[in-house]
């Protein structure tokens, strides 16, 4: 076997929550995240919160209830014998996909649930919050605190989904209503394109050290990553418009076979939410319809479109190991949900030499890696083992978070995953290429 110089630090194969959890800090964080979820729906009517626009998307009210069910089921009902469920039936209505817990109301029919109403779901949330605090006051065991931490992360995932699903719903209304007022970005020009490179090395991939991570980010392990270049910033609209103008959607040689079949059967000729108005393109955003800004990262493209664009550009998509290598050590800064912009923006600052910009926030970046278990991966025992592991087929990994991701939710080892044809997430493109 060839020996390869180690380039990175040895791994800390720590347990997922390595240090004793400070329950007090966790309680505050719980409160912050729970409030933030509700705040997302402040400007919505009960009607906005009940409708399901497609099987992939869920109503906001369902998100509000499901995240609460998560704490009720995995924390309160395990915490002590005395807790009784808020209301019979909710254990079926708001179970997403945990077969180990029991039956589930079918996903495509989440929008049929007009009752309980939004007010009752808010009462459900308040009730569970109160019980969580009582449990913390009584002192919760370490494994429950770990579940609490997981529930907080879980709720942040659903904060993002509330926004992505709501965007889809509002887009189905021909009146094109807005969720929030538009916030202008300071600078409208994209950073110039360019490449940064990394040498061949045996890299440590996956999460190590302290801090929360999901099970799918572990075990931390070594992987031989050949030398590669990765784009300094995501692909922007002006570049994507060039691809379109060059007939990108009409040239089969640019597309994966499944991608070509998809764009033909779906009639796609632009990213999701793009609207043709006579000779120009507009796009629907959470702030209504606007022009296509040339310097903004292109968003709402499928894996197929990302892959075809890369081929057109003479490049390819990065593997997740390459992406993680490039992102490793970068500060988690960028255009996140907290900016309330809710749309990608041109890079607001120039790159440090040899470092990528916008690697976090703005758009989730498709990688060419299928979502698969890391070597030695073991899902947790019990129902929470269904959280991630059973989805490790047919999906592709995306990295880096987006403009609707909470900032505190993301990290360089974070693995998001969607089907190649999915477009309703805030998904975009960063190019890569080998070094020969």
Q: List, in order, residues 6 or more apart from 27 with CB less than 8 Å away.
A: 133, 136
| In the complex, minimum distance from the CB of residue 24 to a copy of itself, in angstroms, rounded to a whole number | 36
**Whether 184 contacts 115, CB under 8 Å:** no
| In the complex, minimum distance from the CB of residue 304 to a copy of itself, in angstroms, rounded to a whole number | 8
Q: Residue 360 or 417: which CB sits closer to a copy of itself?
A: 417
Distance CA 413, CA 221 (A): 12
- Interface characters, 80-99, with a copy of itself (x: CB under 8 A): ---------x--xx---x-x
H-type helices in 41-117, by residue range? Answer: 46-50, 60-71, 77-79, 90-93
Q: Residue 36 or 178: which CB sits closer to a copy of itself?
A: 178
Strands 280-285 and 288-291: antiparallel
Torsion over CA of 76, 89, 54 and 307, rounded to 10 degrees?
30
DSSP 289-340: EEE--TTSBP-S--HHHHHHHHHHTT-BPPPHHHHHHHHTT----SS-GGGS
| In the complex, minimum distance from the CB of residue 222 to a copy of itself, in angstroms, rounded to a whole number | 6
Find the binder of a copy of itself among 234, 259, 344, 361 (CB under 8 A): 259
φ/ψ of 129, rounded to 5, equals -60, -45
Q: State which of positions 126-165 bind a copy of itself (CB under 8 A).
A: none
Q: Residue 115 or 138: which CB sits closer to a copy of itself?
A: 115
Find the binder of a copy of itself among 370, 380, 407, 411 (CB under 8 A): 370
Burial of 36 (0-12, 13-18, 19+ CB in 10 A): middle
Q: Residue 173 or 355: which CB sits closer to a copy of itself?
A: 173
Q: State which of positions 217-236 bind a copy of itself (CB under 8 A).
A: 221-224, 226
| In the complex, minimum distance from the CB of residue 47 to a copy of itself, in angstroms, rounded to a whole number | 4
| In the complex, minimum distance from the CB of residue 236 to a copy of itself, in angstroms, rounded to a whole number | 25
Q: Using the rule CB under 8 A, is 50 a contact of a copy of itself?
A: yes
Q: Write the DSSP symbol of residue 228.
A: E
Q: Using the rule CB under 8 A, is 255 a contact of a copy of itself?
A: yes
Q: Using the rule CB under 8 A, is 182 a contact of a copy of itself?
A: no
- Encoded tokens for 95: 């179970």
| In the complex, minimum distance from the CB of residue 255 to a copy of itself, in angstroms, rounded to a whole number | 7
Find the binder of a copy of itself among 83, 212, 214, 260 (CB under 8 A): 260
Q: Using the rule CB under 8 A, is 8 a contact of a copy of itself?
A: yes
Q: Residue 100 or 279: which CB sits closer to a copy of itself?
A: 100
Say how far residue 343 (Cα) sits from the centre of its chain.
14
| In the complex, minimum distance from the CB of residue 375 to a copy of itself, in angstroms, rounded to a whole number | 5
Q: Using the rule CB under 8 A, is 376 a contact of a copy of itself?
A: yes
Scanning 19-27, 76-84, 389-397, 406-414 for contacts with a copy of itself by CB under 8 A, the matching segment is: 389-397
| In the complex, minimum distance from the CB of residue 323 to a copy of itself, in angstroms, rounded to a whole number | 14
Q: Is the dihedral of CA 6, 10, 13, 16 positive or negative?
A: negative
Q: Write the DSSP symbol of residue 67.
A: H
Scanning 23-31, 124-132, 352-360, 384-392 for contacts with a copy of itself by CB under 8 A, the matching segment is: 384-392
Q: Write the DSSP symbol of residue 379.
A: P
**Whether 153 contacts 211, CB under 8 Å:** no
Q: Using the rule CB under 8 A, is 15 a contact of a copy of itself?
A: no
Distance CA 244, CA 308 (A): 11
DSSP 18-42: -SPP-HHHHHHHHHHHHHHHHHHTT
Find the binder of a copy of itself among 256, 275, 282, 289 (CB under 8 A): 256
Q: Using the rule CB under 8 A, is 243 a contact of a copy of itself?
A: no
Find the binder of a copy of itself among 37, 53, 283, 358 (CB under 8 A): 53
How many residues bind a copy of itself (CB under 8 A)? The answer is: 72
Distance CA 387, CA 216 (A): 9
Distance CA 70, CA 33 (A): 14
Q: Write the DSSP symbol of residue 121.
A: H
Q: State which of positions 296-335 bind a copy of itself (CB under 8 A).
A: 303-304, 307
| In the complex, minimum distance from the CB of residue 145 to a copy of itself, in angstroms, rounded to a whole number | 26
């Amino acid at each position: 076997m060839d020996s390869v110089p180690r380039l990175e630090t040895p791994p800390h194969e720590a347990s997922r929550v390595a240090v004793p959890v400070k329950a007090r800090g966790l309680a505050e964080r719980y409160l912050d995240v729970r409030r933030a979820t509700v705040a997302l729906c402040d400007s919505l009517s009960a009607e906005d919160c009940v409708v399901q626009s497609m099987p992939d998307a869920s109503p906001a009210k369902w998100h509000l209830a499901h995240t609460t069910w998560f704490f009720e089921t995995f924390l309160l009902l395990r915490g002590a014998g005395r807790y009784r469920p808020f209301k019979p039936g909710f254990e079926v209505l708001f179970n997403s996909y945990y077969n180990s817990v029991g039956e589930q109301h079918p996903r495509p029919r989440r929008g049929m649930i007009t009752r309980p109403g939004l007010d009752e779901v808010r009462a459900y949330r308040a009730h569970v919050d109160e019980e969580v605090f009582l449990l913390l006051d009584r002192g919760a065991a370490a494994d429950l605190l770990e579940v609490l931490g997981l529930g907080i992360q879980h709720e942040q995932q659903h904060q993002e989904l509330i926004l992505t699903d709501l965007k889809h719903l509002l887009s189905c209304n021909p009146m094109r209503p807005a969720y929030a007022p538009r916030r202008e970005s300071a600078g409208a020009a994209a950073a110039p394109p360019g490449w940064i490179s990394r040498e061949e090395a045996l890299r440590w991939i996956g999460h190590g050290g302290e801090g929360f991570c999901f099970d799918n980010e572990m075990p931390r392990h070594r992987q031989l990553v050949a030398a590669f270049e990765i784009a300094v910033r995501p692909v922007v609209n002006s570049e994507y418009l060039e691809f379109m103008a060059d007939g990108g959607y009409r040239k089969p040689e640019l597309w994966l076979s499944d991608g070509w079949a998809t764009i033909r059967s779906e009639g796609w000729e632009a990213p999701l939410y793009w609207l043709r108005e006579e000779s120009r393109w507009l796009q629907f955003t959470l702030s209504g319809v606007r022009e296509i800004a040339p310097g903004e990262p292109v968003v709402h493209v499928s894996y197929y479109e990302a892959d075809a664009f890369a081929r057109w550009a003479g490049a390819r998509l990065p593997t997740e190991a390459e992406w993680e290598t490039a992102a490793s050590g970068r500060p988690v800064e960028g255009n996140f949900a907290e900016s309330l912009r809710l749309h990608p923006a041109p890079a607001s600052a120039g790159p440090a030499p040899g470092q990528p910009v916008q690697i976090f926030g703005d758009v989730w970046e498709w990688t060419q890696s299928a979502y698969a278990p890391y070597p030695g991966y073991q899902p947790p025992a019990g129902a929470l083992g269904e959280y991630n592991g059973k989805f490790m087929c047919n999906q592709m990994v995306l990295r880096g978070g987006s403009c609707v991701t909470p900032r505190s939710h993301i990290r360089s080892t974070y693995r998001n995953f969607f089907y190649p044809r999915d477009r309703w997430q805030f998904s975009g493109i960063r190019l890569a290429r080998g070094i020969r």
